[in-house]
Amino acid sequence: MSELNLCECFARDGLQHEPEFIATKQKVALIEQFAEAGFQRVEATSYSNPAVVPQFADASAVLESLSRLAGVYYKATCANVRAVERAVADLNAGIGANEISLLVSASEAHSQRNLKQSREDQWQRVAAMATAASGRFRLIGTISVAFGCPFEGDVDSRSVLRDVERFAALGVKYVTLGDTIGVATQSSTQTLFKEMLRRFPEIHAIAHFHDTRGTGIVNYLAALEAGVRHFDVALGGVGGHPAKVKYGGGVTGNVCTEDFVNVLETMGVDTGIDLDAMMQASNACEAVLGRELSSRVARTGLNPLLRPVSAT
């Protein structure tokens, strides 16, 4: 098994950006393709308020229909205690996710705008969510705007590290640093992740970067060099923010799965991904959304010096 762990985020972070509702059967088919292609983590859905993010009104239906592969973590995003309670109810019914997320913002302004409450109030909510989860899920702590805020600008890295410490105190062993608006640099990426891994060796660091300025893959390679082994990606580079929420110029797509995997494989890094299956999933994602997406590899094909991939 590859030492890298790539989480395919198309079905959640990718689709939250889409204004048109994607049929439940289509979502399920895509999620199953992602798992079959070798992604060890797959964002499956979100227990969001349908009035805010209508795309996930079918969260429980998706999970109920989903065939599971052993060893794969299927993640459901949770925004509040009620969402965790829904996750627990689905788990009790035998259809639940096995991984859920807990979200904070690194800046006060982003917390107020995105989460509708102060950072301290959100931390109180996160603690209640962790309690409600009752140790039944793998918990993923996420720190948004960890490298820069659209409203406040610079974010103090010391504050981000204190947030990592707070997650660790709640028993959260996987913590994501999000470059929500694509302002991280190679230097800031390496510096922050190295310090995080040095201070919290028991924590698995996850990189979740947006490719707003075309620097996502470069920064991911910097994170890899710093010791990060968990990366969030999305086929076609889709997603970034809910369709009804706009900031960071409105162009906030995730790091593109196909392109990042292509780079890693040409470097001799085993991603654990079946390249043929990945490209078939890439085609399926474009078919579901009815348009060409942002992957260069989807247009040009994988590097021909890699192991052969059948025509799609």
CATH code of the domain covering residue 117: 3.20.20.70
310 part of a folded domain: no
Whether the per-residue pLDDT at 76 is higher than 70: the answer is: yes
pLDDT per position as a tens digit, 250-266: 446 899 999 999 999 99
1-29 confidence digits (pLDDT tens)? 678 999 999 999 999 878 899 999 999 99
What is the pLDDT at residue 241?
Answer: 55
Determine the Cα–Cα distance for residues 35 and 40; give it in Å rounded to an integer: 7
Could you count the other beta carbons within 10 Å of the beta carbon of residue 96? 21
Kindly report the pTM of this predicted structure: 0.94
Going from the C-alpha of 171 to that of each of 164, 199, 200, 230, the distances in angstroms are: 11, 16, 12, 18
Residue 209 in any domain: the answer is yes
Per-chain mean pLDDT for the chain: 93
Q: Would you state the pLDDT for residue 52? A: 86
**Which has more pLDDT, 215 or 1?**
215
Average pLDDT, integer, range 89-108: 97
Let me know if residue 56 belongs to a domain: yes
Rounded average pLDDT over 35-63: 96
Mean pLDDT of 34-42: 98
Residue 312 lies in a domain: no
Taking the CA atoms of 121, 170, 154 and 12 in sequence, report the sign of the dihedral they define: negative
Q: How many domains is the chain partitioned into structurally?
A: 1
**Is 154 strand, coil or helix?**
coil
Kindly tell me if the per-residue pLDDT of 243 is higher than 80: no
Q: pLDDT tens digits, residue range 218-233?
A: 999 999 999 999 999 9
Q: What is the pLDDT of residue 240?
A: 66
Within a domain: 276: yes
Q: Residue 292 falls within a domain, yes or no?
A: yes
Q: How far is CA 309 from CA 13, 33, 89, 265, in A?
A: 28, 17, 42, 13
Nearest CA-CA partner of 4 in 249, 229, 260, 208:
229
Is a pLDDT exceeding 50 seen at residue 248?
Answer: no
Residue 307 lies in a domain: no
Residue 173 lies in a domain: yes
- Full domain range(s) for residue 94: 5-300
